[in-house]
Structure 1
Amino acid sequence: MTEARVWFITGASRGLGRAFAEAALAAGERVVGVARDVDPLADLVAQHPERLVVFPMDVADRAAVFAGVERAFAAFGRVDVAVNNAGGLLFGMVEEATEEQIRAHLDVNLFGAIWVAQAVVPHLREQGHGHILQVTSMGTGGGYASVGLYGAGKAALDSLSHALAMEVAPFGIKVTVVQPGGYQTGLFTQGTTVTQENPAYASLREELAKTWSEAEDADPATAAPVIMELVDLPEPPSRLIVGSRSYDLVQQMDQARTAEYRAWESLSRKAAG
Structure 2
Amino acid sequence: MAKTIFISGASRGFGKIWAEAFLKRGDKVVATARDLSTLNDLINQYGDNILPIQLDVNDRKADFAAIKKAKDHFGSIDVLINNAGYGLFGSIEETSEKEARDQIETNFFGLLWLSQAAIPVMRDQGHGHIIQLSSVLGLVALPVLGLYNASKFAVEGLSETLAAEVKGFGIKVSLIEPNGFSTDWAGASAFHTESMPEYDKVRADFQAGLTDDIFGKPEATTDAVLKLVDSENPPLRLFLGKVAYPWVKQVYDGRFAEWDQWNEVAAAAHGH
Check conservation: 2:138, 2:155, Cα contact below 8 A.
Answer: no
Between the two proteins, the alignment pairs up a number of residues equal to 271
Question: Over residues 66-112 of structure 1, what are the superposed CA-to-partner deviations in whole Å (9 max), with x where a residue is unaligned?
Answer: 11111111221111010000001111000110001111111100000
Structure 2 counterpart of 1:145: 143
Question: Over residues 193-213 of structure 1, what are the superposed CA-to-partner deviations in whole Å (9 max), with x where a residue is unaligned?
Answer: 111111111121221121124
Structure 1 counterpart of 2:50: 52
* 1:135 paired to 2:138: no
Check conservation: 2:140, 2:248, Cα contact below 8 A.
Answer: no
Check conservation: 2:88, 2:191, Cα contact below 8 A.
Answer: yes
Check conservation: 2:214, 2:243, Cα contact below 8 A.
Answer: no
- Find the residue that maps to 1:43 and give its secondary structure: helix
Distance 1:132 1:96 in 2: 34
Distance 1:137 1:34 in 2: 21
Question: TM-score under structure 2 normalisation?
Answer: 0.96
Q: Kindly state the Cα deviation for residue 214 of structure 1 after the two structures are TM-superposed.
A: 4.8
Distance 2:234 2:78 in 1: 14
Question: TM-score under structure 1 normalisation?
Answer: 0.95
Q: Kindly state the Cα deviation for residue 48 of structure 1 after the two structures are TM-superposed.
A: 0.3
Alignment RMSD, CA only? 1.3
Question: Over residues 208-249 of structure 1, what are the superposed CA-to-partner deviations in whole Å (9 max), with x where a residue is unaligned?
Answer: 121124554222111111010111111111111112222221
Structure 2 counterpart of 1:181: 179
- Find the residue that maps to 2:137 and give its secondary structure: coil
Structure 1: 5+ residue runs without aligned partners? none
Residue type matched to 2:37 in 1?
A: D
Distance 2:52 2:37 in 1: 9
Deviant stretches of 4+, over 3 Å: 213-216
Residue type matched to 1:184 in 2?
A: S
Residue type matched to 2:130 in 1?
A: I
Structure 2 counterpart of 1:91: 89
Structure 2: 5+ residue runs without aligned partners? none
Greater shift, 231-240 or 110-119, is seen at 231-240
Structure 2 counterpart of 1:76: 74
Distance 1:183 1:214 in 2: 10
Which residue, out of 163, 167, 170, partners 1:169? 167
Distance 1:267 1:38 in 2: 57
